[in-house]
Structure 1
Amino acid sequence: MKVSTRFSDAIHILAYLNIYQDTKLSSENIAASVMTSPVVVRRIMGALQKAGLIQTTHGSPNPHLAKQPSAISLLDIYYAVEGNRQLFSVDPTTNPECIVGGNIQKVLDQTYQEVQNAAFGRLSRITLEDIINDILVAHTKEENQQ
């Protein structure tokens, strides 16, 4: 099963919009950074706009954040691009006559919910500003090592 990269791509796009806000922000330029197609970028940006995280003008390469990076949590971004999708899913077709098959679903449902609550709690405390700052620190560190 392939894991979706929409969430990380959305964070990437938002950080790019902030860091490169004084440049031409076409979907082609953004796609070159994400290493995907402009169509994928536009699709993700549509979801981000619908969630109120960015503002765009049709036909203009000037998207920008609708909020300060400190006011955008990673959980906000997750919900914008993934919706209410669960992090984990339990196989619904197990043998109810088996001790494991008859109980695994309810046990894992509870465990998975606990893990998801912890993950979402952590994502709610990390902001886009935190990610941008980490990117800039990593970039500065790389430059200083050259």
Structure 2
Amino acid sequence: MKQISSRFSIAVHILSLVATIPSECTGDFIAGSVNTNPVIIRKIIGLLKKAGFVEVRAGVGGTSLRKPADQITLLDVYRAVEVIENGELFNFHNHPNPNCLVGSNIEAALRAELRDAQAAMEQRLGQVTLAQLITKFK
């Protein structure tokens, strides 16, 4: 099982910056706040732009929200930046031994549980907006 990439938390960080201090949001400022390479920031901003969440002003610089923060859920952000195969967060290892009691049954037994876990996570992320999240910043 692979851990969810840091793209999601970085994307939420970027959107939080843009929502709270848009006048400061140049690529270098964002990269400094996230403390990562500007190339990674540009890639994730590109995904957020493609999803319709941000607008990037070339030349002048700066990034702004295209949607109000109360209309962007964490689930929206997750779906914009996380690449999951066939809509399933959890993957199974290939070719377990079909002659083994566990190997021949593990995927069928576990698949429904993992699907329910993913649905619960997505349901929770769908309940939290960017606006709600940024109220937690002191």
Same fold, judged at TM 0.5 (above):
yes
Contact 1:74–1:128 at 8 Å: present in 2 too? yes
Q: Who is 1:144 aligned against?
A: none
- Equivalents in 2 of 1:54, 1:107: separation in Å? 41
Residues 71-82 of structure 1 mapped to structure 2, 5 A cutoff = 71-82=71-82
Identity of aligned residues (%): 37
Query: Which 4+ stretches in 1 moved above 4 angstroms?
Result: none
Q: Counterpart of 1:64 in 2: which secondary structure? A: strand
1:32 equivalent in structure 2: 32
Structure 1 residue runs without a partner (length 5+): 140-146
Structure 2 match to 1:102: 104
Which whole-Å deviations, capped at 9, do the CAs of 1:31-55 have from their partners, x for residues lacking one? 0000101111010000000000111
Match of 2:114 in 1: 112
Per-residue CA distance 1:52-100 (angstroms, 9 max, x = gap) = 0111123332211111111000010001101445332121221111110
Note the residue ranges of structure 2 that are not aligned, 5 or more in a row.
none
Take 2:132 and 2:4, find their aligned partners in 1: how far apart are those partners? 24
Say if 2:53 and 2:66, in contact at 8 Å, map to a contact too: yes
Bigger fraction of residues in helix: 1
Change (3 A) 1:7 1:108: same
Deviation at 1:7, TM superposition (A): 0.1
CA distance in 2, matches of 1:127, 1:26: 23
| Amino acid in the other structure paired with 1:110 | A
In structure 1, what is the Cα distance between the partners aligned to 2:7 and 2:72?
17
CA distance in 2, matches of 1:2, 1:109: 17
CA contact (8 A) 1:90 1:108 kept: no
Bigger drift between 90-99 and 40-49 goes to 90-99
